Amino acid sequence: MTKSAAEKAYRKVINSWAMYDWANSAFVTTVMAAVLPVYYSKVAGANLAPNTATAYWGYTTTIALLIVAFLSPILGAIADFSGVKKKFLAYFAAMGIVATALLYFVRTGDWFIASLFFIIGNVGFAGSDLFYNSLLPHVAKPEDIDQVSTRGYAFGYIGGGLMLAINIAMIQLMPDSELATRLAFVTVAIWWAIFTIPILKNVQEPPATRRADEHPNPVRAGFHRLSVTFHEIRHYKQLFIFLIAFWVYNDGIGTIIKMATIYGAEVGIDSTTLIGTLLMVQFVGIPFTFAFGWLAKKIGTKNSIYLGLAVYTVISIFGYFLSEAWHFWALGFMVGTVQGGSQALSRSLYGAMTPKAKTAEFFGFYGMSSKFAGIAGPLLFAVVGQIAGSSRLSIVSIIIFFAVGGLLLSRVDEKEGIRIAKEEDARMAAG
């Protein structure tokens, strides 16, 4: 194969991998962030008080993330052992797609089944995302990993934004907005299914990483690997410190993503502004996500993440004073400038310190960390809101996650982490 042909093949694999972000981001924008939270508050939870609906949504998100958090590490270890990362991706994606389509049947007062279908859909989304992330160190060259990760997030903004724009048009133009909303969930399921095809077709399954002394049963081998990793975690000190840092600051990021629209609805922001702002965030995020990939080359990956956390801190403070529609637009624009870049660079920094022989297992821990990160924030948001009788103090309480997470991130020596990962790969290759 010529150099140009090899480069073309490499780009095809990179773009096919990134297209999964395009596919499943429709779930993030329409179901997780924009349409379902408002539908949950106004329709499914119509028989609940507004603050109660907000709290129930926080508890629903917490339950979904707990399930994935406990499943992620063992599934990752099994996938590494058996060489089934793509197969597991397909299984979880199918679960999420079916559950999303079933949201069509949610009507007035059906907050319980709305919560149930969202939990199943979120498990499918998060589970498939685990294995999608674990493929990053395999598809990207080490020198390209920041740029490939940001490309995935940028593709996600484009795909999620286009799907959200279509859904907003349906809701605004159809005479029956409730029916249009339910049909929007079906379009998300179809979109997700169609654009999952490229990664399954064009990205190769990394080989299984079995050692001669391991048990042939993948479940037993998976649990054994987890046991070994827990006992040897001190050997991956930098990776472990980063996981804790990521757990903390991503908690704040995830809470803003999940609770923004339902918080806006509670304080009186109209639905058109809520959904329109989230659509704007998608398209603002495209150039700024690519910009963070460029910025990482100029000032370093960690410094770029610090910048993102500083902006999120300002967003949390201003969120307390939210009262007008233009406030929500302004805060949404600020979120769009840092959301994709900070998360993409976190993924690539972690991937650079991860042994290739254990990508699914280690991204299982990453997934567990990110899902536990999504538990404390919404839970704190819900509890503070119920105690105070308003969610204004809830949004301010998120600042603690950015401050503590940034402090922990400053303790990570990424060069040492990369060196350890390379040594582990050499050891696994030797037998």
Render 116-152 in DSSP notation, one character per residue. HHHHHHHHHHHHHHHHHHHTHHHHS-GGGHHHHHHHH
> Which residues have C-beta within 8 Å of that of residue 230, sequence separation ≥ 6?
none
| 239 close to 350: Cβ distance less than 8 angstroms | yes
| 236 close to 361: Cβ distance less than 8 angstroms | no
Q: What per-residue confidence (pLDDT) applies to 308?
A: 94
H/E stretch holding 312 reads: helix 301-319
- Counting other chains too, the contacts that 264-269 makes at CB distance below 8 Å and 24 or more residues apart are 264/322, 264/328, 265/37, 265/38, 265/41, 265/42, 265/50, 265/54, 266/41, 266/50, 266/51, 266/54, 266/390, 266/391, 267/322, 267/323, 267/391, 267/392, 268/323, 269/322, 269/325, 269/328
DSSP codes of every residue in 5-67 = HHHHHHHHHHHHHHHHHHHHHHIIIIIIIIHHHHHIIIIITTTS-HHHHHHHHHHHHHHHHHH
Residue 210 included in any domain: no
pTM of the prediction?
0.76
> Which residues have C-beta within 8 Å of that of residue 386, sequence separation ≥ 6?
51, 55
| 255 close to 381: Cβ distance less than 8 angstroms | yes
> CATH number for the domain including 143?
1.20.1250.20
The tally of CA atoms less than 13 A away on the side-chain side of residue 137 is: 25
Length of the chain: 431
Phi, psi of 366 (to 5 degrees): -60, -45
Task: Please state, in angstroms and rounded to a whole number, the distance separating the CA atoms of residues 44 and 108.
Answer: 5
Q: What per-residue confidence (pLDDT) applies to 173?
A: 92
Neighbours of 424 (CB within 10 A): 19
Q: What per-residue confidence (pLDDT) applies to 66?
A: 79
Task: Please state, in angstroms and rounded to a whole number, the distance separating the CA atoms of residues 378 and 256.
Answer: 9
> Which residues have C-beta within 8 Å of that of residue 243, sequence separation ≥ 6?
350, 365, 366, 369
Q: How many domains does the chain have?
A: 1
Residue 7 included in any domain: no
Q: What per-residue confidence (pLDDT) applies to 181?
A: 95
| 211 close to 424: Cβ distance less than 8 angstroms | no
Neighbours of 220 (CB within 10 A): 13
Q: What per-residue confidence (pLDDT) applies to 218?
A: 62
Residue 204 included in any domain: no
Q: What per-residue confidence (pLDDT) applies to 310?
A: 94
Task: Please state, in angstroms and rounded to a whole number, the distance separating the CA atoms of residues 288 and 24.
Answer: 20
Greatest Cα pair distance, the chain, in angstroms, is 66
Residue 406 included in any domain: yes
- Domain enclosing residue 220, as ranges: 15-199+215-429
Residue 205 included in any domain: no
Residue 271 included in any domain: yes
pLDDT of the chain, 431 residues: tens digit per residue: 566 788 888 999 999 999 999 999 999 889 987 789 889 888 988 888 767 787 788 788 778 877 877 777 777 777 776 777 899 899 999 999 999 999 999 999 999 999 999 999 998 998 898 889 888 888 988 888 888 999 998 899 899 989 988 998 999 899 999 999 999 999 999 999 999 999 999 999 887 666 555 556 666 666 666 666 666 666 788 988 998 898 889 888 878 876 777 777 777 778 778 778 877 887 888 899 889 988 998 999 999 999 999 999 998 888 888 878 888 888 889 988 998 899 899 989 988 898 877 777 677 777 666 666 566 777 777 788 777 776 777 778 888 899 999 999 999 999 898 888 888 777 766 65
Give the residue from 266, 238, 227 showing the smallest Cα distance to 381. 266
Task: Please state, in angstroms and rounded to a whole number, the distance separating the CA atoms of residues 356 and 304.
Answer: 25
Q: What per-residue confidence (pLDDT) applies to 112?
A: 93
The tally of CA atoms less than 13 A away on the side-chain side of residue 319 is: 31
H/E stretch holding 225 reads: helix 218-231
| 426 close to 336: Cβ distance less than 8 angstroms | no
Distances (CA, A) of 205 to 129, 200, 333: 15, 9, 38
Residue 3 included in any domain: no
Residue 273 included in any domain: yes
Q: What per-residue confidence (pLDDT) applies to 215?
A: 55
